[in-house]
Structure 1
Amino acid sequence: MTDTAPPTGTAPPTDPAPSTGLSLILGEMARQRGDALGSLADPQVQARARDLAHAARDSGRLLLLGMGASHFVNRMAEPEYRRLGLDATAMPLSEALYTPLPPGPRAALIASQSGASGEVGRYLQTPAQDERRFGLTLDPHSPLAQALPCLIGPGGAERGFAATRSLVLSVALHAAVLEALGQESGSVRAALESPDTLDLTPALDTLRSADTLVFVGRAELTGLAEVCALHAAELARVPALGFEGGQFRHGPIELLRPGLGVVLLRTGGPSADLTDTLARQCVEAGLRPVVLDCAGGEAVPGTVWLALAPGRGLAAVLNAVFPLQRLLLDFASDRVRQVGKPRHARKVTLER
């Protein structure tokens, strides 16, 4: 345990005084739903979403660029753009800088909550050629917002170290673009309005003694699994890995052993049964995996089965993200006294 701290239970602490970092994170979480709903109702966001949708439809291609949590949110939205017929690709902005895609007509969305990371600045200096560029950010005064037409979430840049409010707002801004492309957004709004009352005590009790965490998802929940691993590493300072379900089966499944914490994110569609099979394999290996079920399935014996409101696409992401935020904060608070106060990283990374 790092900087030993007492357990916090399953609800965010009401007195975050010992940790300024934690108080900032809780403050962001307190207003994330309202800000996200506000962004969906914002006429300027809707107009910019239509512009991006038209550009993507004109070329048939959409490149989604970001770093850290912004990239993982792009990964959550990527399957939804594909379902609407677009050739959508999500890649880290750093990869686009050093091993770019061949030039060609396409729309590109550069996502950065701060709009000021080092990679954003360098990418803006590269020639656009036939690429029609748009931004997604929370800071209307950032270099990204000044350089490109942007989808801008309300409330200003996020102050907390971990991406909580910025993640939820970014999902909502993608939902606005998907709505402009013809996808219904009522289920996304319903997910943002539904209270999160899930009892996480069994899940926290199961994961508390884990020395390493593995998160596994498929389709739109792959990016959520990846960002959960990011949060576990940066907040709880434990080794954490996020996998697409098929990728986990191809080798990393050898990690299964007592002492490993496994969280499976179960989406609907043809992959749901595959998640059930993996859950049984975890049980056979002596583990009790935590399963967040977004598809209304039947619990697999030997698991901690958390039944969420059934949903697909970004609605499923939102149904899962709020309990996962609480779970990871509580897990981190058991291990780190000053949760959310980084030792080596920065909120805005300026890679040199």
Structure 2
Amino acid sequence: MAPENGNLTEFLREADSQPEALADLIEFYRTEGAPLLTRWRELLAKYSRVEFIGMGTSEIAPLLIRSSLASAGIGVSIVDAGEYVHYHNADPAEGTLSVLISQSGESAETKKATAALAGQGAPVAVIVNDEDSSMAAAAKLVLPLKAGDENSISSKTYLNTLSVLHLMAGGELAELDKVAGTIGRGLDKPAIISAAEHLMPADSIHFIGRGPALCSAGQLALTFMEGAQAHGRAFTGGAFRHGPYEVLGPGHRAVVLAPGGRTVKLCLAMANEMAGAGSHVVLVTDLDEIEPRENLVVLKVKNPVGERTFPLAFARVQAWLLHHVARLRGYEAGFLSRVSKVTDVE
């Protein structure tokens, strides 16, 4: 069982080094990495569609920029790399640019997809943390994460993947500077613990978001299964009304992500409806004026930029929430017994 106080677990040490990892990424893309972003923009301008291919966190992260690219007239698809390898044509449709994401650059399925695409002569861009990896060697363009070594559940690499994607969709380094400064400040740990306690027994949790916050919902669901052995499922706000709403009630647990943005009123209304029906709801928001109510705990996130940077601003808080839910359930987030950090088998 993870310690409540005292020495930090490896997962928390890595999560708490997110500000430094992001600062390293910013410095790289402000200096020697700047030409890589220029090359990306030049490459993207030649295509009308982008397909993101990855597994786990690397499949979830592009949800951050899907709507931004679509609003710019660029078609977007996000594909499970294993499904791509076995069920998709390895020769992408004309006008499609493939972007493959793997923190290690050695994930079994994504590595196969990269090799297949490169073998067809397709333009391939990769986002990796290991610049000496197999995927990096096969790619036309490599966008490094600069997250440093990571041995536990994705935290630094998750944040830096979101940050690279933000830049790829036209985000500014100055915006990332603001995020880095904000997440480096002290956390409201009592509020995080209160949120974790509200989710108990946390056997099953629904994570609900819209727009860019869908990547937070997906990452929460993935890592809560991985780190707290809780059954997690991510939903869009709309999809959750189409059937799953029947589970509302005292035995139901949910996290609703409600950053200020175009759908915040819908998210707030849903959270309040769910709490009114007896569900235990943790509402995560960057709005100061939202107050708790019966069955509703509010977890506030400092977000200095806008709706698209909310998942970045929430990343460190998210890791600590996972840690405390796992601790209360008797587990140590980051201690893996059935899988390894790099999944190198299908």
For the criterion TM > 0.5, the same-fold answer is yes
User: Which among 93, 100, 108 is matched to residue 118 of structure 1?
Assistant: 108
Return the structure number with greater relative CO, CA threshold 8 A, min gap 6. Answer: 1
Query: What secondary structure, in the 3-state scheme, does the structure 2 residue paired with 1:126 have?
Result: helix
User: Which among 236, 255, 261 is matched to residue 269 of structure 1?
Assistant: 261
| One-letter identity of the residue aligned with 1:177 | M
Judged with a 3 Å threshold, the aligned counterparts in structure 2 of structure 1 residues 338 and 296 are, in CA distance, closer, same or farther, namely: closer
Cα distance in 1 between the residues matched to 2:214 and 2:186:
21
> Does residue 304 of structure 1 match 2:279?
no
Cα distance in 2 between the residues matched to 1:184 and 1:124:
28
| One-letter identity of the residue aligned with 2:95 | P
| One-letter identity of the residue aligned with 1:193 | G
Q: Is the 8 A contact 2:54 2:101 kept in 1?
A: yes
Cα distance in 2 between the residues matched to 1:270 and 1:124:
36
Cα distance in 2 between the residues matched to 1:286 and 1:317:
27
Tell me which residue corresponds to 2:39. Answer: 51
User: Which among 334, 338, 343 is matched to residue 340 of structure 1?
Assistant: 334
> Does residue 37 of structure 1 match 2:23?
yes
Moved more, 299-308 or 65-74: 299-308
Structure 2 unaligned spans of 5+ = none
Tell me which residue corresponds to 1:70. Answer: 58
For each residue in 1:265-293, what CA deviation from the matched residue of structure 2 results, as whole angstroms up to 9, or x when unmatched? 00233311111221122122212311011
Q: Is the 8 A contact 1:113 1:166 kept in 2?
A: yes
| Mapping 1:1-352, distance limit 5 Å | 5=1, 8=4, 13-16=5-8, 22-23=9-10, 25-42=11-28, 43-100=31-88, 103-128=93-118, 129=120, 131-148=122-139, 149-160=141-152, 162-179=153-170, 183-194=171-182, 195-198=185-188, 199-296=191-288, 298-299=290-291, 301-302=293-294, 303-310=296-303, 311-352=305-346
**Offset of residue 212 of structure 1:** 1.2
Query: What secondary structure, in the 3-state scheme, does the structure 1 residue paired with 2:280 have?
Result: coil
| One-letter identity of the residue aligned with 1:153 | L
Percentage of pairs with the same residue: 22
Equivalent pairs counted in the alignment come to: 334
Cα distance in 1 between the residues matched to 2:167 and 2:262:
26
For each residue in 1:313-346, what CA deviation from the matched residue of structure 2 results, as whole angstroms up to 9, or x when unmatched? 4311112222111111111122234432212122
**Offset of residue 300 of structure 1:** 6.2
| One-letter identity of the residue aligned with 2:36 | R
Cα distance in 1 between the residues matched to 2:43 and 2:269:
41
Structure 1 unaligned spans of 5+ = 17-21
Cα distance in 2 between the residues matched to 1:297 and 1:107:
42
**Offset of residue 201 of structure 1:** 3.1
**Offset of residue 130 of structure 1:** 7.1
Moved more, 90-99 or 215-224: 90-99
Q: Is the 8 A contact 1:217 1:243 kept in 2?
A: yes
Q: Is the 8 A contact 1:211 1:259 kept in 2?
A: no
For each residue in 1:212-270, what CA deviation from the matched residue of structure 2 results, as whole angstroms up to 9, or x when unmatched? 11110100001110110111111111111111111111111222221322110002333
Moved more, 97-106 or 258-267: 97-106
Q: Is the 8 A contact 1:264 1:290 kept in 2?
A: yes
Query: What secondary structure, in the 3-state scheme, does the structure 2 residue paired with 1:59 have?
Result: coil
Judged with a 3 Å threshold, the aligned counterparts in structure 2 of structure 1 residues 127 and 7 are, in CA distance, closer, same or farther, namely: closer
Tell me which residue corresponds to 1:19. Answer: none
Judged with a 3 Å threshold, the aligned counterparts in structure 2 of structure 1 residues 146 and 274 are, in CA distance, closer, same or farther, namely: same
Cα distance in 2 between the residues matched to 1:185 and 1:250:
39
Q: Is the 8 A contact 2:21 2:148 kept in 1?
A: no
For each residue in 1:2-50, what CA deviation from the matched residue of structure 2 results, as whole angstroms up to 9, or x when unmatched? xxx3772xxxx4314xxxxx32x22322322212122122134322222
**Offset of residue 155 of structure 1:** 4.5
Cα distance in 2 between the residues matched to 1:110 and 1:268:
30
For each residue in 1:149-189, what CA deviation from the matched residue of structure 2 results, as whole angstroms up to 9, or x when unmatched? 211122544211x111110111121123233xxx4343332
| One-letter identity of the residue aligned with 2:48 | G
Judged with a 3 Å threshold, the aligned counterparts in structure 2 of structure 1 residues 313 and 275 are, in CA distance, closer, same or farther, namely: closer
- Aligned-pair RMSD on alpha carbons? 2.2
TM-score (norm 1): 0.87
Moved more, 332-341 or 271-280: 332-341
**Offset of residue 123 of structure 1:** 0.9
Q: Is the 8 A contact 1:294 1:319 kept in 2?
A: no
